[in-house]
Amino acid sequence: MLSDSSFTSECPKCGKKALIKRQDSLYQCLACNFKKDLEKPEAEPSGIALAFAIALLIILIVTVTHYGITNPCAPNDLQCIERERLNR
Ligand SMILES: [Zn+2]
């Protein structure tokens, strides 16, 4: 019989108290082969960061195309804005 400390907690998948520590952060259930790596966070920060980067890129593209094509003038350059309006 293994010592009590090797059986750490109930398996979140099958509910049996058969979760053993395989490595420093890796736990495995003897009953259903469920594995849990404690070093891996529940959420995926890389996916969130990627989505955030894509959102920033879209905002940048929209901003550049909006001001670069429809309005080449600086927002506070009223003479340029008036000239562009008359040319169209
Ligand atoms: Zn299990």
Instruction: State in Å: Cα 52 to ligand 1 middle.
Output: 36
Q: Which among 84, 61, 88 has a CA at the least distance from the CA of 74?
A: 84
Instruction: State in Å: Cα 51 to ligand 1 middle.
Output: 33
What is the C-alpha to C-alpha distance for residues 72 and 65, in angstroms, rounded to an integer? 10
Q: Is 37 helix (H, G, I), strand (E, B) or coil?
A: strand
For the whole model, what pTM was predicted?
Answer: 0.38
Instruction: State in Å: Cα 25 to ligand 1 middle.
Output: 17
- Sheet containing strand 7-9, edge to edge, reads 7-9, 19-21, 26-29, 35-37
Instruction: State in Å: Cα 48 to ligand 1 middle.
Output: 30
Instruction: State in Å: Cα 20 to ligand 1 middle.
Output: 10
pLDDT tens track for 35-88: 988 776 666 667 888 899 999 999 998 888 776 666 677 878 888 888 888 876
